[in-house]
Amino acid sequence: MTRPLIARLRLVPLLTAHELAMIEGLCGSTRTVPAGADIAPQGDRPRSLHVVVDGWAARYKSLPNGRQHFPALFLPGDVCDLDGLLLHTVHSGVRALSPCTVAVLPHAQLRDLIDQRPAIRDAFWWMGCVENAIATEWSFGLGRRTAGERLGHLLCELLARLRMAGLSTDDGYALPLSQVEVSDVLGLSAVHVNRVFKELREIGVLTVKNRWLTIHDHRALKGLSHFDPDYLHLEGPRARAGADRRGAADPALDVEPLFMPR
């Protein structure tokens, strides 16, 4: 079940249906990982690529005294260790934040595909660039945004990304993160995250109940966090000159609609 990756790649006008099928065919096995466990092994010469199919995961880094940080969050459809394809040692681990299902694509075969098919190469390279763009935005937030702006911005980003994956309703989504985990994303203390949530709740912008986030006033949330989704590159990668590819419109692959009906 690599649907989410395919759904994501389908957005990419770069790929033909045939190429999508090739990628899908590559997914040998699927693993399930309990919350809290590592998804991708750290260390030398990683041998495969992991795609989150279900659940949420995060890259993590920590310091001896217990300080921890999540510099990236991976949602269904995201490749969570793209770097391992090029780098020969991977230093940051990836941990499941909720129970996860991950697809495992062996590097060797993926490399063959990348060598043969420039469009596939570009699709994966492009995903790395988007990850980079998101990291840049987070970096800015950590450096220059207030706690309230950071939280608001994160929640808007997650809505946009989940919506693209077809995993949100019009005004909310399942948020499997504890406040402690949110604090490790935002570089704040858990207590302070709690206070900011409370504030947003009190001004009527959102509600969290039973791990479900409802955004009552999306406009306000976007406004107070200065959210602009451009950096997510929801429009897909740039087309290759002269290419007339149209995977996204090809009905050969039966994939769920990408946007929820309003």
Nearer to DNA, 37 or 191 (CB): 191
Report yes or no: 75 and 161 within 8 Å, Cβ to Cβ: yes
Q: Indicate which single residue of 78, 131, 157, 181 sits in contact with a second copy (rule: CB under 8 A).
A: 131
Smallest gap from residue 62 Cβ to a second copy (A): 8
Nearer to a second copy, 74 or 138 (CB): 138
What whole-number distance in Å separates Cα of residue 88 and Cα of residue 229? 33
Verify binding: residue 45, a second copy, rule CB under 8 A.
Answer: yes
Site string for a second copy, 80-99 (x = CB under 8 A): --xx--xxxx-xx-------
Among 87-95, 107-115, 160-168, 194-202, which window interacts with DNA (CB under 7 A)? 194-202
**Could you count the other beta carbons within 10 Å of the beta carbon of residue 182?**
21
Among 131-139, 165-173, 174-182, 221-229, which window interacts with DNA (CB under 7 A)? 174-182
The tokens for 153 are: 């911005």
Verify binding: residue 226, DNA, rule CB under 7 A.
Answer: no
Verify binding: residue 147, DNA, rule CB under 7 A.
Answer: yes
Nearer to a second copy, 39 or 167 (CB): 39
- Burial letters 61-98, b for 16+ CB under 10 A, else e: eeeeeeeebbbbbbbbbbbbbbbbbeeeebebbbbbbb
The tokens for 43 are: 């260390």
The number of angstroms, rounded, from the C-alpha of 92 to the middle of its chain's C-alpha atoms is: 16
Nearer to a second copy, 204 or 223 (CB): 223
Site string for a second copy, 47-76 (x = CB under 8 A): ------------x-x-xx--xxx-xx----
Binding positions for DNA, 48-67, rule CB under 7 A:
none
Please choose which of a second copy, DNA, none residue 68 contacts, taking the beta carbon within 5 to 8 angstroms, the exact cut-off set by kind.
a second copy
The CA-CA-CA angle for residues 21, 24, 26, to 5°, reads 115
Nearer to a second copy, 45 or 198 (CB): 45
Neighbouring C-alpha atoms within 13 Å toward the C-beta of 109 = 12
Q: What is the DSSP track for 7-57? A: HHHHT-TT--HHHHHHHHHH--EEEEE-TTSEEE--EES--EEEEEEES-E
Name, in order, each residue with C-beta under 8 angstroms of 69's C-beta and a sequence gap of 6 or more: 60, 61, 62, 184, 185, 187
Verify binding: residue 262, DNA, rule CB under 7 A.
Answer: no
Q: Count interface residues toward a second copy (CB under 8 A).
A: 54
Smallest gap from residue 31 Cβ to DNA (A): 21
Verify binding: residue 116, DNA, rule CB under 7 A.
Answer: no
Nearer to a second copy, 89 or 178 (CB): 89
Amino acid (one-letter) located at 218? H
The tokens for 234 are: 């929801």
Binding-site ranges for DNA (CB under 7 A): 146-148, 178-180, 187-192, 194-195, 197-198, 208, 210
